[in-house]
Amino acid sequence: MTNPKIVVLDFGSGNIHSVLNAFSQLGAEVELNADRSKSLAADGLVIPGVGAFATVMEQLGAVGAPSMVDQRLSSGKAVFGICVGLQVMFDKGYEHGVETEGLGQWPGEVTKLDSPTLPHIGWNDVSVPEGSRLFEGVAEEQFYFVHSYGAATFVLEDETPFEKPKVSWAQYGSRFVAAVENGPLTATQFHPEKSGKAGLTLLNNWLKNL
């Protein structure tokens, strides 16, 4: 695809400029907004996320993101979640003693990592499943993480309109979901936009497969 149109959802999350810069560097037509029609029409919708699960869900709800995500995915249009943008795809998040409903695209819960030192900040290996298109050419590379919570399990019903999800894992004290490729829904717990050449390659792989 030449010059894919990408919308980075503007819902109040931080860390936006590095995401915009990464896609611009890859030649995408990228813009930051929360306009519903543009978000639904774009070739790809990116949902970044920095902060607490509950806060991000409140912000997403304020701009109508849950129904945007549902509508895009039901019509097979790509959505990419980053960091808390991955976490909110699960049923629930438990953070700071608060239980919050997520977007419910995947069953499961996001909980505190079982590690003596938090947050998890820095570069980490990722265990990538065979046949991953997202990690093509960078399966052996490290990626940059900043988080204290994660999904410890990933179980999806066999009945799905898409091929079986490809789930990548990482370890920091406990094992957690590092990335998911699930039909039009892709998400990473790490920050590809802060992961150097490997991160740009990964984002470019996503763009190529829109």
Biggest CA-to-CA distance, the chain: 46
| Given 95, 141, 181, 191, the catalytic residue | 191
Q: Six-digit token pair at 116?
A: 């003596």
| Given 83, 95, 120, 147, the catalytic residue | 83
- State yes or no: is 159 an active-site residue: no
- State yes or no: is 95 an active-site residue: no
CA of 110: how far to CAs of 35, 45, 80, 98, 155, in Å?
29, 22, 18, 11, 13
- State yes or no: is 101 an active-site residue: no
Q: Six-digit token pair at 31?
A: 């813009």
Q: How many CB atoms lie within 10 A of CB 33?
A: 13
Q: How many CB atoms lie within 10 A of CB 198?
A: 21
Separation of alpha carbons 166 and 68, rounded Å? 23
Q: Is 53 helix (H, G, I), strand (E, B) or coil?
A: helix
| Given 95, 141, 181, 193, the catalytic residue | 193
Closest CA to 194 of 182, 202, 183, 185: 202
Catalytic residues: 83, 191, 193
